[in-house]
Amino acid sequence: MKKKKRKGFQILNARVTATVSVALVLVILGLVSLLAIAAENVTREIKENLGFNVVFVEEAGEREIDHITDFVAIQPYTKSVELITPEQSRLRWQEETGEDVLQVIGVNPFAAELVVKVNAEHSSTAQLQAYADALRGHSSVEDVTMHAEMVDSVNDNLRSITLVLAIVGCAMLFISFMLINNTIRLTIYSRRFIIYTMKLVGATDGFIRRPLIVANIVNGIIAGVAASLLLSLLLYYINEFDPSIAGVVPVADILMVFGALVLAGILICGVTSLFAANRYLRIDYDDMFH
């Protein structure tokens, strides 16, 4: 009786250990996923703040300015446009420097200016240069300014960050699969004699395999839920520390990651338990001691 209780405790302990191990691995995978989403959102925000400014000639009339503004606003690359009048530029200058140019030189030297923000997929230097060149040919446009070096620097840095996160994500996925595989194999290894005994009394492979896979799928669900709860607590404390940081990842994306963790727990635990069960269904009695 004591021997059966001890055996049952060992099996339960193995299942708990496997579930905790899977949960910890899924937490790491979840962190990498959330970081990747945050990097993507920050990347998009930075790219959409990159654009160009259209400076109009002083003689440009309101009709010409409105025509160009409407034309730019409907282009597929445009995210937003903002028309800054000469008077707005003068007041901004006065606010920033404390100096009124009208009193200094007697005239307003500022021209009307159109600030164009582009969509993230249209933020490369070549694309921005092409859009700027198309507008420079208009008689009402004096110049189109853009920060080409800044655009190149931002795009290069973002590509590097994306590459690093992709490599880390793939590495973590491989490591997590190996760790979970080894952990689940240990849980089934602890039941290898039960499997062999069931085979001796005529149980089919499917009959033996089914409860093992189902039990590990349940463990995967529990591990996925536990990992999601741990990440929720982490995000809660981050939000308490700095709400702007937590706001980088929308709630919908967080819920998607949590669902993916549960699904990953189910798939990885189910597949690895299938392989491990098949292995111990095929081995001989003498090989069970190795």
Residue 142: give its domain's CATH number.
3.30.70.3040
Identify the residue whose tokens are 């400076």: 55
Question: Chain-centre distance of CA 151, in angstroms?
Answer: 22
Domain boundary (128, 146, 164) is at: 146
Domain shared by 211 and 185, yes or no: yes
pLDDT tens per residue across all 290 residues of the chain:
444 555 455 556 666 777 787 888 888 888 888 888 887 787 777 777 777 888 888 777 888 888 888 888 888 888 888 888 877 877 777 777 767 766 666 677 777 888 888 887 777 778 888 888 888 878 888 888 876 666 667 667 777 777 777 787 777 777 766 766 676 677 677 777 777 777 777 777 778 778 878 888 888 899 899 999 999 998 888 877 777 666 678 888 889 999 999 998 888 888 888 877 777 677 665 565 55
Domain shared by 112 and 208, yes or no: no
Inter-residue contact 76 to 51 (CB < 8 Å): no
**CA 26/CA 231 separation, integer angstroms:** 10
Domain shared by 239 and 177, yes or no: yes
Domain boundary (95, 112, 146) is at: 146
Domain boundary (112, 146, 180) is at: 146
Count of structural domains, the chain:
2
Domain shared by 37 and 159, yes or no: yes
- Structure tokens that stand for 51 in this block: 């654009």
Domain shared by 132 and 210, yes or no: no
Domain shared by 41 and 181, yes or no: yes
Domain containing 276: what range?
2-45+154-289
Classify 18 as helix, strand or coil. Answer: helix
Domain shared by 90 and 206, yes or no: no
